[in-house]
Chains A and B, each alone.
Chain A
Amino acid sequence: MPHAVAVTVNGTSYPREIEPTLLLVEYLRETLGLTGTHVGCDTSQCGACTVLVDGRATKACTMLAVQADGAEVITIEGLAKNGDMHPIQRAFAKEHALQCGFCTPGLMITAVDFLERNPSPSDAEIRHAIKGNLCRCTGYHNIVNAIRSASAEMRQSAGARPKVAAEVKR
């Protein structure tokens, strides 16, 4: 029996009739066609499907789309604003923190949530924060560098750019 839900994704509300068994990640990828969020496993280990739900990094394979009714979701497609990349995006490219790019959207979303809560992390804190996101290409070395580099830029430009997570209710 389809349910009527309205999820706000990247600032736009999408009223849809969906099956109650539909996962949030399926809703994003298949119902809305936002394929930047990826599915890498079926046990919530890999984190490729991570999106912000009401400001918190959430594995979109662990949540039903109906549970997101009324929530505000930000996906990788919503990270840049008017063509202006988020510091984490620039840092990932600058530090060569991606190779195949499949895990990258989930990692960047996790990093955004983390850095908005912990603006000056140690490397150990960064490694702990991303341990729920698996990357098989980079060995994490450059990802840690990128998150550290983005944290510096975000601290410098604090105030100039609204927090992604703060744009939605916490």
Chain B
Amino acid sequence: MTASTTPTYIGARVARKEDPRLITGEGTFTDDVTLPGMAYLTLVRSPHAHARIRRIDTTAAKKEPGVVAVFTGKDLEATGMLPVFITVPSMSGSKHMPIATDKARYAGDAVAAVVADSREAAKRAADLIAVDYEPLPIVVDAMKALEPGAPIVHEELGSNLVFTYPVKGGDIDKAFKDAEVKISQRIVNQRLIPNAIEPRAVTAKFEAGELTLWSTTQIPHFVQLIAALNLGLGQNKVRVIAPEVGGGFGSKLQVYAEELLVGFLAKTLGRPVKWTEERREGYLATIHGRDHVSDVELAAKRDGTILGLRVRTVANVGAYLQAFAPGIPTILHVFIVPGAYRIPAFDYEMRGAYTNTTPVDAYRGAGRPEAAYLIERMVDRLADEIRMDPAEVRRKNFIAADAFPFNTISGITYDSGNYEPALDRALAMADYKGFEKRRAEAKTRGNYRGIGISSYVEICGLAPSKVNAALGVGWGGYESARIRVHATGSVQVFTGTSPHGQGHETSWAQIAADALGISPNDIEVRHGDTFESPGMGVGTFGSRSLAVGGVAVHKAAEKVREKVVQIGAHLLEASPADVVVAGGKVFVKGVPEKAKNFGDISMAAYLANNLPEGMEPGLEATVYYDPPNFTFPFGTHIAEVEIDGETGTVQIVKYSACDDCGRQINPMIVEGQLHGGITQGIGQALYEGAVYDSDGQLLSGSMMEYHVPTAEDVPPFDLDSTETLTNTNPLGVKGIGEAGTIGSTPAAVNAVIDALSPLGIKHLDMPLTPEKLWRAIRASGEGRR
């Protein structure tokens, strides 16, 4: 194949194939699926954060007109337990039933279910269910949950300790003995509510022994697998469809109670059933993210050289372990805490704790934003302590460009990296040199201006399978792809990934187009239906889809191309080595006028009467790709903020970022992922936080109390990139889905603290709300009284 005659779609800003249906209202989301005879499920949820269920009286509810059936937890035990896919050493797993049977362990834990002919009838009946609760002592704070005498969330486990996860490297005692500077800081990474704008929903029908289940999920194949196992159906009799999915960010990376319940009820009742979450219900019953409290000590020399890092963290997992929860604060967090730096000694002990709160699992970045925030805050604390430019402290400690592959002190191997060019580019974009003038100018207006840097590294890919297994991940880290070329030359790509905004229909078509020498317009990418997929798909999370699933598409397309070349060589009576596949044609190098159309080749594959000796008819390929390592994207983000001296309101006046995710397939989509990720990270830094009172009531219980950033809360973003390929996969691609969220939070917080550092402020916990900043400014003795 000659590159000069082949249009390269990889790297092009190809318009999204998804958009036409989504901008006309023709996309079908799960709640849009309505079936004849459908019944509606409503769940009764505990108002108590911790209470024994003494008795449930469903008599009145059953008499309500339109009610089909009423169930308590005991009636629904046949649905089986909810799965946990990761087991870390010393883990103390919780029993988790879709409907609580003995006691409610958080406010929002489901205790009964109603199915009725309409949503309204189901809700009316749910209000008539009388539950006799015996309130129990409540623990909300994870640190307190691990103290002796704390209320126990799961009595059979004996304590609230979920796991202790230690990771050590180097001589930490020596590091602190040699240290010229020691910095201790408690760092809180507050609990967040994911807030995908589409609430969760499940619809199911059971016909002719086959369950079809539509769900707002990032992992339809796992839902299929668990539904089949738990409901006693053959996997071939469970079809799970993730139609349009309206955002996920990890919150739809679960096998949820409602998926099993709706599947079970459709099968048991013999009529279609739908459940749609209300937003306030979702705040209680859809997983939360983050929630770490870390005590961090950093040892360094006066010249800025970091010598060691010691961390003790408690992660709040909530009332139950959800699907991936054990892996988020451990595998996806602890190993990446050293970040972009060569740190000689590392000692981290992570503990997980059960509490009477909504379960915590993956939220965009999942463990890595907590890591980046921790190390990037400490680097800034060090810079402040030794009065050194934070950019230079970073530069001094960066892993050198020639040190890759680099074995980190935490015990993992970074594939590739070149951190200084991204830092330098971001500094230039931010006009870092000119900043002090702007700080001084703001001061004349009574405002505080600051600039904050964050140089992150993230883990993505979440493969290979053998490493996953060694870490306790109970499933492979591969991804699947099938490419089918029909006789007429139309092409379908079936992928095991399950996009929900990431544009795989476009990017995967670009990848296949380059291999097959055709246009992405002639390639249809299909996803999210377990009966159409290559067989097993792992799904879309952890910034893994491109580095694993996209590469699977590439490999499948290469296999198909190889067969196209063989058939073309046969028909053109040439050597396969001389055959060119490009521009929708197949021809002998130098003789483009005697070309076969791509469709001629596919037709020949199916006519099958003139194929090379011994070749199978047909033109398709299936690939399960298991990468040899994770990939490690990186970058530098810089936020410049101005704080109103009178109100404490923060405005991000400029945001610059230079990211490196290896080769970009579609830069337009890459930038879009960054824009959204950065906004979520800024949300954590400045606006968002789930707040419980001591009774375990979620005070930030709706979008009225929990501030999802609006268009006025974030600036335009100035983005650039460097390209450091990975040799982990043949495309040289990494991942970009979470990088923005990982890089932005520390940049924004570092900027705010930098702005307030002239007042002697060293650290404040997120979210940095106007009230918090106003109080901090007043407490410092500055600001107007």
Contact = CB atoms under 8 A, between A and B. Distances in A.
B703 A46 contact: yes
Interface residues of B, number: 56
Contacts of A77: 24-25
A48 B279 CA distance: 12
Most buried by A among B32, B669, B678, B710: B710
Interface in A108-162: 108, 123, 126-128, 130-144
A139 B675 contact: yes
Contacts of A126: 711
B678 A135 contact: no
Contact of B23 (A37, A48, A108, A138): A108
The 7 closest A-B pairs by CB, nearest first: A36-B25, A102-B246, A101-B22, A100-B501, A99-B501, A139-B679, A139-B675
Interface in A77-95: 77, 79-80, 85, 89, 92-94
B332 to A, nearest CB: 21
Contacts of B278: 42
Contacts of B712: 127-128, 131
A99 B500 CA distance: 8
Contact of A135 (B28, B197, B503): B197
Nearest to B680: A136
Contacts of B245: 100
6 contacts: A105-B23, A128-B711, A135-B711, A138-B675, A139-B678, A139-B740
Contact of A104 (B22, B31, B717): B22
Given A40-B199, A142-B675, 8 more contacts: A38-B198, A99-B503, A127-B710, A135-B711, A136-B195, A136-B249, A137-B247, A141-B714
Nearest to B668: A96
A99 B197 contact: no
Given A103-B197, A134-B703, A139-B714, A42 B279 contact: yes
Given A93-B15, A144-B711, A40 B25 contact: no
Most buried by A among B15, B247, B680, B711: B711
A41 interface: yes
A125 B23 CA distance: 23
Given A89-B23, A123-B716, A140 B249 contact: no
Contact of B679 (A42, A43, A140): A140
A43 B438 CA distance: 41
Most buried by B among A42, A45, A93, A100: A100
Report whether over half of chain B's contact residues are helix, strand or loop; otherwise say mixed. Answer: loop
What range describes how many residues of A lie at the interface?
35 or more
A144 to B, nearest CB: 7
A104 B244 CA distance: 13
B708 interface: yes
B441 interface: no
B23 A99 contact: no
Contacts of B29: 35, 38, 102
Most buried by B among A35, A38, A46, A139: A139
A105 B21 CA distance: 11
A165 interface: no
Interface in A36-71: 36-43, 45-46, 48
A48 B197 contact: yes
A35 B25 contact: yes
A76 interface: yes
Most buried by A among B16, B19, B197: B197
B20 A93 contact: yes
A9 interface: no
Interface string B629-672: 00000000000000000000000000000000000000011011
Contact of B199 (A29, A39, A79, A130): A39
